[in-house]
Amino acid sequence: MTEQNRSRMDRWLDLLVEEVAERLQGQAVVPSPAPPVVEKPAPASVAPVPPLPPTHRQGVEALVEAEPPAPFPPSPPISEKSHAARLMGRLSLGLLILVVLINVPFNRHGTTLATAMPDARALIIRDGLIVKEASDARIYVYQNGAFRWISSLDAFDHYGYTWGDVHIVESGFMDDFEIGAPLHVLLKCYDSPHIYRLEDGTKRWIVDIEAFEAEGHVWEDVRFVSCEYLRQLPDGETIPPGQGPPPQP
């Protein structure tokens, strides 16, 4: 082998070794497919490169078979428990802020969102609304800005109310409203001139017209019943009180 051929072969060997080293380094950092190698035809004036000697081939094979450098260690996985803990902390903080906001008064009457927001059972306070507290047998109707006690079942029937109209409310519901004059019904039978007011199952004799008008009654409050029915009702105090035993119908 001539000296010129040996130097050319050494250059090709160096280039090959550098190419292999660069490919191994590229695979260790960012694996990517190697671009295709386009072989250029050798110039006519350049003699073909002879095969590598055995000693050089062994060196190249040793470089190719060398173990690549260890890859970078994988990033530690994010802890699911720590993520859940942060999420629960944010939810707790949001709930605390919401509770504080709905309990802060927003007007001079001390009304808060917690008391101002209606629920599905909220009632519209209007004339004709009939309510009964769960712990009280009395029934009330709302008229002219106040709740009026319906003093008897006769009055309840006389004014055309039905049990389907009654709303059961919690105890103490009436404490927030004005209580007006009771709503009574007056009873009279055809065979007697006397008029009685029914209260709590007893009849109270209204002794004269002056007492009738003083109590605020009108003739529309009078309900006609049989005298037998009136006689069966127990007697109560007269209106006004202390007028002696009431006459029998």
pLDDT in tens, 33-86: 555 555 555 555 555 555 555 555 555 455 445 555 555 555 555 555 566 677
- Do 171 and 194 lie in one domain? The reply is no
- Do 172 and 193 lie in one domain? The reply is no
pLDDT above 90: residue 29: no
The answer to whether residue 113 is domain-embedded is: no
- Do 140 and 167 lie in one domain? The reply is yes
Domain count along the chain: 3
Query: Which pLDDT score, from 0 to 100, does residue 27 have?
Result: 56
- Do 166 and 210 lie in one domain? The reply is no
The parent domain of residue 190 ranges over 185-232
Peptide bond into 240 cis (omega under 30): yes
Query: What does pTM read for this prediction?
Result: 0.44
The answer to whether residue 241 is domain-embedded is: no
Averaged pLDDT, 166-184:
90
Query: Which pLDDT score, from 0 to 100, does residue 103 have?
Result: 59
The answer to whether residue 36 is domain-embedded is: no
The answer to whether residue 239 is domain-embedded is: no
The answer to whether residue 148 is domain-embedded is: yes
- Do 200 and 168 lie in one domain? The reply is no
CA angle 245, 246, 248 (to 5 degrees): 120
- Do 59 and 18 lie in one domain? The reply is yes
The answer to whether residue 171 is domain-embedded is: yes
H-helix or E-strand spanning residue 197: strand 195-199
Averaged pLDDT, 138-142:
94
215/110: higher pLDDT: 215
Query: Which pLDDT score, from 0 to 100, does residue 247 have?
Result: 77
The answer to whether residue 91 is domain-embedded is: no
- Do 154 and 197 lie in one domain? The reply is no
The answer to whether residue 74 is domain-embedded is: no
pLDDT above 60: residue 223: yes
Query: Which pLDDT score, from 0 to 100, does residue 117 have?
Result: 41
- Do 189 and 169 lie in one domain? The reply is no
